[in-house]
Every structure is written in C-alpha cells, then in structure tokens.
Amino acid sequence: MKTLFVSDLDGTLLTSAENISPYSLEKLNAMIDGGMPFTYATARSLNSAAKAVWGLRQNLPVILYNGAVIMEPSGGSMLYNNPFNAGQREYIRSLLQKYGLSPLVYSFQKGRELVSWERGRETEGMLRYLARRRGDARLHPVDSESALYEGDIFYFTCIDEKARLDGLQQSVQTSLDLKTIFEQETYRTDWWCEIMPAATSKGNAARALKEIAGAERLVVFGDGVNDFSLFEAADESYAVQNADDRLKAMASGVIGFSEEDAVAKFLSTYEK
C-alpha cells in the first residue's frame, strides 16, 4: 500500500536558520532514493521553499501558499490552482480600503507568477519580506491600487502590527467563501493576515496530491494552525514537540523538536 509522506516546512522540517540540517538531508535523501514518496506543504512560494530545502531530493510535486497551488519543483509547472472569483476580489478590495491596508497580491499573469504591491505603501514588515527576496523574479511593484488586481489572484497577504490587522481578519472570518490564516511569523515579530478562498487549504491540496501520486495513505507532519486541515486530511498525523497545543491534540502522535531533526528521525524508524 503506497503511503505519501508530507511535511510542513517552517517550524517542522526546517531549523530556525530556515534550512534543513545536514543530518536530516542525509537521512531524507537516503529514504527518498530508496523509494519513499516524500514532499512538503508550505505557506512559502516555490522560490522561497527551494532555497530553504536546498539539497533535498524533490521527485514529487510540492504544495505551496498554504494549499493554493501545487507545482512541479523543477520547471515550476502548475498542477493545481484555486484563484479568487471576481466577487471575492472586490469584497477583499473593499475591506482593505476600509482598514487602510495595502497588501501583497499573489497572482498568475500571462503564465508568470507575480507578487505585486503598491509602491510607497510598504509597511516595515513588508519591507523586511521584500528585502529577503531581493532579486526574486516574481516581485512586481505597481504604481496604483487598481493595478494590484490584475491577473488570476490566488492569495493576499498583509504584514503589519497585530492591532492594525485585527479588524481585517475579523471581517474576512465572517465571509462564508473566504478564510484567513492570522499568526505571528515563525522567526520574527511581524504578524501576517493571509487571505484565500475558503476551499484553499493544505488539506485539500494534499488530497489532490495523494491522487496525483497514486497513493492510498497519507502521513503528515506539522507545527502550526495552518496545518489543521492537513492533519484532518491525513490517515496519520504527527506534531513536533514545539507545535501549537491545539495541533498536538489533533495528532496521532507527538514527535521530537524541529531543531532536533524530529521528522527525519521518526521516518528512519517508521515501518508501515
């Protein structure tokens, strides 16, 4: 019976240095070379994730943007996408205007993946985000608010102080066809309010990837609130020791700390 293994990245597979340790790389690559179907599900883009997992064998598609997209890691072919419809986009636009917020907007335009933002309206958190991605071909500053809403948009992100984002998050949560992930960044003090269609989730993407991979079982690993749906979709789910307590309560089991190669060590002894 073929089992697909899917791990979250930040706070689960990665260290606080935002990479995979040499020990985990060696162990995981040996298992992948031996035939283990292993991949990841992350809030990151393909470009950001590729840097973080540098050296990892990637034989399977990967889940990106908290489940909004599934892509081939080499070449970036898109296998799955869940964009906003026109009504959803206009509603989000009205909320952003109401709360005086300017977002990062993730879209596909003429086959290109873009991250757009309005020049001159960057928050300190956005500037930190952009500085870490200097040279990224997706970056697409625009000079007007209307230009943000071009193309097939699949994700919005606002990065700011928590108090400035609370109203937006609460308003989006009242919508039946939208949802947010609202949490502090894993390695920094910035708060992120990420907005996506209600059907977008790591769990739904993992179900789709399970079918693509021809697997019959799904085993997953995670640490945060954006992993809830992933755990719900899985046959078995394992939270790292540093995970959110609510995720631990959902898990089939709790393994070691992310800083101590918990996923690789667990898989080294996994027999099913």
What pLDDT digit, counting tens, does each position of 116-157 carry? 999 999 999 999 999 988 999 999 999 999 999 999 999 999
8 Å CB contact between 237 and 250: yes
Distance separating the N- and C-terminal Cα atoms of the chain: 9
**DSSP run (H or E) holding 105:** strand 104-109
Per-residue pLDDT for the chain (272 aa), expressed as one digit of tens each?
A: 899 999 999 999 999 999 999 999 999 999 999 999 999 999 999 989 999 999 999 999 999 999 999 999 988 888 998 899 999 999 999 999 999 999 999 999 988 899 999 999 999 999 999 998 899 999 999 999 999 999 999 999 999 999 999 999 999 999 989 999 898 887 678 999 999 999 999 999 999 999 999 999 999 999 999 999 999 999 999 999 999 999 999 999 999 999 999 999 999 998 65
Return the domain boundaries, the chain: 3-76+201-269, 86-197
Closest CA to 79 of 240, 190, 205: 205
CA distance 113 to 130: 16
8 Å CB contact between 159 and 135: no
What is the per-residue pLDDT for 175? 92
Q: SS3 of 230, please?
A: helix
CATH fold, domain 3-76+201-269, is Rossmann fold (3.40.50)
Angle at 187 between CA 268 and CA 72, to 5 degrees: 55
The CATH number of 86-197 is 3.30.1240.10
